[in-house]
Structure 1
Amino acid sequence: MAGLINYITESYNELKNHVTWTPWAEAQRLTIVVIVFSVIFSLAIWGVDTVFSNMIEYYFTLVKS
């Protein structure tokens, strides 16, 4: 149990004194950039999926006929 407490204490000390944190304004800006690219990427994947789905559906209607 002492090892766990020591680990937590050292981790807290490391985060408080030795980590350089990104300024709040930059973190907000980068978060928005990630959200925008995630939405764009998900829309692109949705579009490709829709096209392939329609192609496969069309193929099976041709084969079925």
Structure 2
Amino acid sequence: MASVLEFFKESYNEMIHKVTWPTWGELQNSAVVVLIASLIIALIILAMDESSSSILKLFYQSVG
């Protein structure tokens, strides 16, 4: 049980004294980057979905 308590003490000490936490501005910048990247990826997937749907429609019309 002592090792568990020691683990929590060392973890707390490390989180307080050794971890470099981002500033509010850095968090906001990172959030904007993630939002823009997500939108770009979503648009790419939408374009791929629409194009494959159109290709399949043409294929089924030519076969049927």
Q: What stretches of structure 1 move > 6 A for 4+ residues in a row?
A: none
In the TM superposition, 1:19-34 aligns within 5 A as 19-34=19-34
Q: Give % identity.
A: 34
Structure 2 gap ranges (5+): none
* TM-score normalised by the chain length of structure 1: 0.79
Shift of 1:62: 0.8
* TM-score normalised by the chain length of structure 2: 0.80
When the two structures are aligned, how many residues end up with a matched partner? 64
46 and 2 in structure 1: CA distance in 2 versus 1, 3 angstrom threshold: farther
Shift of 1:2: 4.5
Q: Secondary structure at the match of 1:12?
A: helix
Partner of 2:59: 59
Q: Which amino acid aligns with 1:45?
A: I
Q: CA RMSD in A?
A: 1.6
